[in-house]
């Protein structure tokens, strides 16, 4: 298991969140499965005390380039980014909140820095209203016969496909995004799926429901499904014996950028402790470098 160790001797919290985010997502907002964990320390001496195996030690503001990742993804030793050539370095004194990102786009940066900033800003600003028409992970959700209630995200088809194959006392689709939730609810009221459907931006994917979705739609349409707005970061309380598919909410790029890795890790633990008689299903099938 590889850990990213960030040496942070500043009070620049927004830059720290930015640095953490770019450890898990590349310049084009694609997930990088290089690290299993991330730790922040105040000095190199602290970093050296805890670094082991194939950990990577970097400084706040460092962004790993594809060249660096390709070079060290199979390394078996601790790697330090200091003085390494394939690192994009951002000014430690500059904040990287949303307003600052807009200002940074006016700077005469090279292409790669500009791509990092512009793509992240686009992702973050669109996240509150983005509709996901396709899944970005495996479609199956492991069934647990001891669960009486199902709660699943409204994005894509994953919740629907699980529920048409398994029986629950109650089925609830939820999301923190009103537009995604309203879209899923409006679809479920239709007796059949349209052959073509135009969804306005911002949207992820194209209208192309899997054949199993089409074949099972009459079952889904006839089910009693509740739709409710839930933000998992607010630590809601679910009914006992609930199965909750939460995907990668606590590792999602906009959330990590806004709240930081450590806050999300804490909130995820709090959610599990608060709902100790429930089962939470995260995104699976990830092989870390």
How far is it, in rounded angstroms, from Cα 87 to Cα 58?
Answer: 10
Note the pLDDT tens digit of each residue in 195-233. Answer: 899 999 999 999 999 999 999 999 999 999 999 999 999
Quick check: 110 pLDDT over 80?
no
CA–CA distance, 288 with 3 (Å, rounded to integer): 10
Enter the tokens of residue 280. Answer: 């939470």
Is the domain defined by 131-282 classed in CATH 1.20.1440?
Answer: no
Q: Is residue 172 within a helix (H) or strand (E), and if so which, with residue range?
A: strand 170-175
pLDDT at 112 over 60: yes
Contact 128, 255 (CB under 8 A): no
What is residue 287's predicted lDDT score, i.e. its pLDDT? 54
The CA–CA distances, whole Å, from 92 to 7, 54, 89, 169 equal 11, 26, 9, 53
Q: d(Cα 185, Cα 180) in Å, to the nearest integer? A: 9
- 105 or 190, which is more confident? 190
State yes or no: pLDDT of 62 exceeds 60.
yes
Closest CA to 89 of 115, 123, 65, 63: 63
pLDDT exceeds cutoff 70 at 26? yes
pLDDT at 186 exceeding the cut of 70 = yes
Return the SS3 of 94: coil
288, pLDDT greater than 70: no
Instruction: Render pLDDT for 225-248 as a digit per residue (tens, 0 to 9).
Output: 999 999 999 999 999 999 999 999
Return residue ranges of the chain for CATH 3.40.50. 131-282
- What is the rounded average pLDDT for all residues in the chain? 95
The residue-averaged pLDDT of 56-76 equals 97
pLDDT of 24 above 80: yes
| Cα dist from 162 to 20, 40, 184, 223, whole Å | 33, 38, 15, 13
Q: Sheet containing 56-59: which strands, arranged edge to edge?
A: 37-41, 3-7, 56-59, 79-80
Confidence (pLDDT) at 138: 80
pLDDT band at 285 (very low <50, low <70, confident <90, very high): low
Q: For residue 146, is it left (φ>0), alpha (ψ between -120 and 50) or beta?
A: alpha
What Å distances lie between residue 200 and 28, 32, 111, 146, 204, CA to CA? 21, 28, 29, 40, 10
The model's confidence at residue 164, banded by pLDDT at 50, 70 and 90, is very high
Average pLDDT over residues 86-104: 95
Tell me the pLDDT band of 61, cut-offs 50, 70 and 90.
very high
Question: What are the phi and psi torsion angles at 288 (to 5°)?
Answer: -85, 145
Which residues, listed in sequence order, are joined to residue 132 by a DSSP beta bridge?
Answer: 204
């Amino acid at each position: 298991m590889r850990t990213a160790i960030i040496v942070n001797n500043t009070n620049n919290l927004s830059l720290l969140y930015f640095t953490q985010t770019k450890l898990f997502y590349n310049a084009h907002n694609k997930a990088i499965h290089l690290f299993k964990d991330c730790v922040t320390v105040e000095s190199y001496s602290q970093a050296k005390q805890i670094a082991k195996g194939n950990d990577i030690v970097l400084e706040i503001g460092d962004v790993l380039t594809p060249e660096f990742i390709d070079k060290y993804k199979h390394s078996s030793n601790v790697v330090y980014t200091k003085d390494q050539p394939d690192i994009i370095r951002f000014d430690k004194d500059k904040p990287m909140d949303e307003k600052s990102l807009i200002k940074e786009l006016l700077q005469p940066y090279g292409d790669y820095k500009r791509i990092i900033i512009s793509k992240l800003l686009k992702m973050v600003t669109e996240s509150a209203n983005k509709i996901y028409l396709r899944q970005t992970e495996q479609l199956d959700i492991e069934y647990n016969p001891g669960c009486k209630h199902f709660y699943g995200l409204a994005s894509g088809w994953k919740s629907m496909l699980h529920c048409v194959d398994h029986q629950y006392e109650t089925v609830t689709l939820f999301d923190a995004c009103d537009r995604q939730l309203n879209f899923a609810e409006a679809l479920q009221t239709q007796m059949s799926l349209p052959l073509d459907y135009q969804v306005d931006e911002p949207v992820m994917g194209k209208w192309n429901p899997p054949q199993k979705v089409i074949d099972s739609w009459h079952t889904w349409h006839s089910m009693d499904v509740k739709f409710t707005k839930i933000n998992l970061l607010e630590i809601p309380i679910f009914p006992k014996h609930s199965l909750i598919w939460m995907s990668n909410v606590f590792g999602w790029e906009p959330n990590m950028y806004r709240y930081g890795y450590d806050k999300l890790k804490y909130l995820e633990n709090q959610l599990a402790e608060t709902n100790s008689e429930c089962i939470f299903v995260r995104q699976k099938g990830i092989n870390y470098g």
